[in-house]
Each structure stands twice: as structure tokens, then as C-alpha cells.
Amino acid sequence: MEVTWYGHAFFKLETENDKIYVDPFIEGNELCPIEVDEIKSADYVTVTHGHDDHYGQAVKICKNTGATLVANYEITVDASEQGVSDVEPMNIGGSVSGEEVKFHMTEALHSSGALGHQCGFVIETPELNVYHAGDTGLFSDMELIGEMLEPELALLPIGDRFTMGPPSASRAVEMLGVSQVIPMHYNTFEPISQDPEKFKKLVGYEAEVIVLQPGQTHFSRGIE
């Protein structure tokens, strides 16, 4: 799987047959090196919650590419009203299956504005299972997420203030039992300034910490 980070919580996960965009925050994301119209093809867009820095340009991308929007019920209703034709509404504890990928919606400790409840996703693909935690504080059921959904790679917020900071994110790595982690949701704005090396140090030998530059792609094989 190719994992590209575009700053903040915005990622592209690309498998042999699917392009999945998560939390496509482009307008207002100064770290993001691409424009929304540069995204010419997408199979799925997933959104963790209704805040602008996550819902972002999801509607535009779905309309431009015909991608399926996977999100909580309230967000899919809002997107449908804005003209998105292909939506998969779901909620926490549930899963939605595509041809090769499966989306599991997980809890997140945060808020979500008017658009339903905030969440995270474990995205199961033939190549790798990835946990995108969304915006969240630390919660002990991350251990259960690790046990039951077996993610190998975690995308975790480390920016503090609105989400976990490095100490709690490093505990999350331990509880999830993942072998690889990519930090996110930091250095987009001054209040979430963070040194990812500090997080790396706290994780230690627990997992491989991959610090990406915005626009950089990591090729992940998971555990053989």
C-alpha cells in the first residue's frame, strides 16, 4: 500500500485497485501541496467528523470523481443535499464492505459540530489494515480495536490541545499493538505545534515511527 500524507489528518491510501482519501482538508490547509482539482480519480472518500479541517473538500472530490463517500449518517445526508450521489452512511461499531476494502467505524473522543458523532476508521484492505484515529483523546478501548480489527499501521494525532499529544499517542501505539505509526494533526496551525521526534522517542522500540513531509509517500507492506 502507498500511504501519502497531505498534512493535518488528510491521507491517500492507495492499493492495487483502490484509491481512498481520508479527511481531505485542502482549502485552509497550508501544509497541503495539492489543489482539489488535481484529484482526478478516487474510489472512496472517508470523513471522520464534521469539523471543517476533516470534512474539508470531501463533497467536491466526490462530485469531481464519482467516489463513494463513507461517513456517519449525518454527514452523508449533508453531502447528499449538496449533490453527492454515492454515499455509504454508517455508524460506530458497524462496517461497510466494498469489493476489496472494508471500513470499520470506531469510537473517537472528541466533538463533531452539528454533523453527528466523531469517529475513527479501521480500513481493511488485501494489503494492509490501517487505523485512522480521527481526532481523539486516548481511550482504553484502543486495545480492543487492536485485538479485534488487527491494524498494522496507525495514523495518530499528536498535536495536543484538540487531540492526543505525544505522551498519550505513544500509549495508544502500545495499546493498539501496531508495528508502524505515522503521526498527524500537528504543525498545521500554531496551537498544534509539535516536534514529531519527541513522539518518536517516546514510542521507542514499540513500533516504527514514520515521519512524513507533506506530499510524501510511504510504501507499507505490513507484517509478512
Residues in contact with Ni ion by CB under 5 A are 51, 135
14 alpha carbon, distance to own chain's centre: 13
Q: Is 135 in the site for Mn ion (CB under 5 A)?
A: yes
> 71 or 128, CB closer to Mn ion?
71
**Residue 152's binding partner out of Ni ion, Mn ion, none, with CB under 5 to 8 Å set by partner kind:** none
d(CA 71, CA 116): 10
Q: How far is the CB of 186 from Ni ion (least distance, A)?
A: 13
> 164 or 176, CB closer to Mn ion?
164
Q: How far is the CB of 110 from Ni ion (least distance, A)?
A: 6
Of 46-54, 98-106, 125-133, 173-181, the segment contacting Mn ion by CB under 5 A is 46-54
* One-character DSSP codes across 144-193: HHHHHH--SEEEEE---SSS--HHHHHHHHHHHT-SEEEEES-SSSGGG-
Q: What is the DSSP letter of 190?
A: G
> 28 or 204, CB closer to Mn ion?
28
Residue tagged 449533508 (cell numbers): 78
Q: Is 23 in the site for Mn ion (CB under 5 A)?
A: no
The C-alpha cell that represents 61 in the structure block: 472530490
> 131 or 152, CB closer to Ni ion?
131
3-state secondary structure 104-128: EEEECCCCCCCCCCCEEEEEECCCC
Single residue of 14, 23, 53, 127 touching Mn ion by CB under 5 A: 53
The residues binding Mn ion (CB under 5 A) are: 53, 135
